[in-house]
Amino acid sequence: MGFWRKSSAALLASVALAAGGAVATAAPASAAQTCPAGNVCLYASTGFNNMGLRTVKTSECFQLASYNLIDGDGIMSYRNNLSVKAVLWHTSSLDQEWVADGTISAGGFSSNTSGNFSDAVLVCTGGRSPYWSEA
């Protein structure tokens, strides 16, 4: 009976060690995409994942459709490492006037916008007035 107890104990210890090793070598969760200094980055997913737009331009407008940022909930996270603000815009359905959806302050960031910018079709940096740019 002593042999079986020792063998069982050794087997259980081996299983526990193997299980512990499996946990220690598990693949890490996907890492957020970094936004370099001097850039504004807009992401289609929360947690700074699925970067759509990254730019260093400080006085330009960008059509979000060109960066796959209007499908679904649009911009789901952002990081503004520029020294200027970025303003998100859409056009009103009645008179096609530009309407500001929100401002991303210089140095501002959010890992989850909860779809608050889902109507935005344009982002302009540095106080640039909205216009349909080719950028």
CATH number for 45: 2.60.20.10
Residue 23 belongs to some domain of the structure: no
Give the separation between CA 93 and CA 114, rounded to whole angstroms. Answer: 23
Residue 26 belongs to some domain of the structure: no
Give the separation between CA 107 and CA 59, rounded to whole angstroms. Answer: 16
**pLDDT score at 133:** 73
Residue 5 belongs to some domain of the structure: no
Residue 30 belongs to some domain of the structure: no
Query: pTM for this one?
Result: 0.75
**pLDDT score at 2:** 53
Tell me which residue range forms the domain holding 104: 40-125
For residue 99, pLDDT beyond 60:
yes
Number of domains, the chain: 1
Residue 16 belongs to some domain of the structure: no
Residue 109 belongs to some domain of the structure: yes
Query: pLDDT tens for residues 56-97?
Result: 999 999 999 999 999 777 999 999 999 999 999 999 888 889
Cα-flanking dihedrals φ and ψ of residue 40, to 5°?
Answer: -110, 135
Residue 119 belongs to some domain of the structure: yes
